[in-house]
């Protein structure tokens, strides 16, 4: 396995099964023994460059760095960066790498994180590049599933909601495919998984099925990953309301499910997931959100060489 030290975390495609499992092991270590690492990065600085706002992801990266004893600086709003003055991303990265030891970057343009990593001599953590990748989210999703199921091997996983624009769904599907999971995609017409992703899964020999409604898929699911369906993706109110009905997970909706089904959601949710589900054993989405911290601590610790 290649060393993680000084490596950038850009895309789930860059990681082998073995490397993914290693990240999960280190995440568990950060989860259970965080205090041992409380001064690990005392003289290091994380720059959080958020060219697109994402409060939760930014705070989560900052909290992870602070818990490792490090310092943070950055911007949360592109209006306050020199991009506004027309500076290229390449130039911004060259400048920032002389100020910090590590960069976490969110940018609306796809491939921007890869470009930043090629320019910078310090590690870059991709905190989302347009519709492309958001690997720290995928690692925390994988950690949550692994923690709950004790394995990632051969699980029956359902993805439900907006699968067309859902970046988290795309990279999680790719990652789970490496573990021989059976994938079930449930989405309204027009919001299906993009064809190029399905074709890629097919080329890789992944077992998957597409469904129009949850009833057809729910049988033996171990995991259900729900994403938000955004109103603006639909033409009129009527269409949206019609779709929303079939994609609202409530207690009654879950009758007949595998009792060991566990539901994840990248949050924030709107009404695709009723609050009445929160107190059932199915719901693990709040734990999933909390796992953002140990996951990002693990990624930072690995690329900074705190753990090998």
Partner 1 sequence: MSKNEKKATRTISQIERGTVIDHLDPHVVFQVVRILGIDDQIEDTVTVGTNFHSNVLGKKGIIKIANRFLTQDAVDKLSVISPSATVSMIEDYEVKRKFKVKIPELIEAILKCPNPNCVTNTEEWPTRFRVAVRDPLLLFCTYCERYFGKHDIEIL
Q: List, by residue number, the catalytic residues.
A: 56-57, 85, 106, 134
Single out the residue of 131, 257, 290, 307 in contact with partner 1 (rule: CB under 8 A): 131
Residue 95: CB atoms within 10 Å:
10
Q: Based on CB atoms, which residue is closest to partner 1, 199 or 275?
A: 199
If the CB atoms of residues 27 and 92 are measured against partner 1, the closer one turns out to be 92
Q: Which residues contact 275 (CB under 8 A, 6 or more apart)?
A: none
Residue closer to partner 1, measured from CB, 115 or 298 = 115
Residue 78 binds partner 1 (CB under 8 A): no
* Interface with partner 1 (CB under 8 A), residue from 69, 78, 130, 305: 130
Q: Locate 89 and state its tokens.
A: 């991303």
Query: Which residues make beta-bridge pairs with 72?
Result: 46
Per-residue string for binding with partner 1, 231-270, x by CB under 8 A?
----------------------------------------
Residues 19-58 within binding reach of partner 1 (CB under 8 A): none
Select from 27, 132, 138, 295 the one that contacts partner 1 (CB under 8 A).
Answer: 132
Could you tell me which residues come within 8 angstroms of residue 73 by beta carbon, excluding any fewer than 6 positions away?
Answer: 45, 46, 47, 48, 99, 100
Q: Does 13 bind partner 1 (CB under 8 A)?
A: yes
Say whether residue 11 binds partner 1 (CB under 8 A): yes
Question: Which residue number, 198 or 297, has a Cβ lying nearer to partner 1?
Answer: 198
Token pair of 149 as six digits = 């199921």
149 to 13, 71, 237: CA distances (angstroms): 23, 35, 39
By rule CB under 8 A, what count of residues binds partner 1? 21
Q: Tokens 């993680």, residue?
A: 4
Burial class (CB in 10 A: 0-12, 13-18, 19+), 131: middle
Candidates 88, 151, 213, 250; binder of partner 1 (CB under 8 A) is 88
Q: Assign 76 to helix, strand or coil.
A: coil
| Binder among 45, 89, 257, 307 for partner 1 (CB under 8 A) | 89
Buried/exposed code over 56-79 (b: 16+ C-beta within 10 A; e: otherwise): ebbebbbebbbbbebebebbbebe
Give the footprint of partner 1 on residues 141-200 (CB under 8 A): 196, 199-200
**Burial category of 229 from C-beta neighbours within 10 Å (exposed 0-12, middle 13-18, buried 19 and up):** buried
Q: How far is the CB of 130 from partner 1 (least distance, A)?
A: 6
Residues between 90 and 129 that touch partner 1 (CB under 8 A): 90, 108-112, 114-115, 129
Query: Binding residues for partner 1, per CB under 8 A?
Result: 11, 13, 88-90, 108-112, 114-115, 129-133, 196, 199-200, 203
């Amino acid at each position: 396995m290649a060393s993680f030290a000084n490596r950038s975390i850009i895309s789930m495609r860059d990681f082998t099964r073995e490397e993914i499992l290693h990240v999960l092991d280190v995440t568990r270590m950060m989860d259970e023994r965080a205090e041992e690492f409380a001064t690990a990065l005392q003289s290091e600085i994380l720059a959080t460059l958020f060219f697109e706002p994402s409060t939760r992801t930014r705070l989560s990266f900052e909290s992870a760095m602070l818990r490792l004893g490090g310092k943070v600086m950055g911007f949360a709003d592109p209006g306050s960066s020199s991009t506004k003055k027309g500076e290229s991303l390449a130039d911004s990265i060259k400048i920032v790498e002389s100020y910090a030891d590590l960069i976490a970057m969110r940018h609306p343009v796809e491939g921007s994180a890869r470009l930043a990593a090629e320019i910078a001599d310090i590690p870059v953590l991709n905190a989302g590049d347009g519709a492309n990748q958001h690997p720290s989210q995928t690692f925390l999703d994988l950690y949550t599933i692994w923690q709950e199921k004790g394995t990632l091997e051969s699980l029956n996983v359902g993805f439900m909601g907006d699968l067309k624009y859902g970046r988290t769904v795309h990279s999680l599907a790719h990652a789970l495919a490496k573990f021989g999971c059976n994938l079930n995609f449930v989405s309204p017409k027009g919001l299906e998984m993009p064809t190029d992703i399905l074709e890629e899964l097919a080329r890789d020999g992944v077992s998957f099925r597409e469904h129009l409604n949850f009833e057809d898929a729910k049988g033996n699911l171990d995991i259900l990953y729900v994403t938000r369906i955004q109103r603006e993706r639909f033409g009129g109110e009527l269409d949206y309301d019609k779709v929303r009905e079939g994609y609202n997970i409530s207690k009654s909706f879950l009758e007949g499910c595998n009792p060991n089904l566990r539901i994840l959601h990248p949050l924030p949710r709107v009404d695709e997931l009723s609050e009445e589900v929160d107190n059932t054993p199915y719901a693990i989405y709040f734990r999933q959100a909390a796992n953002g911290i140990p996951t990002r601590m693990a990624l930072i610790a690995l690329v900074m060489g705190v753990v090998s």
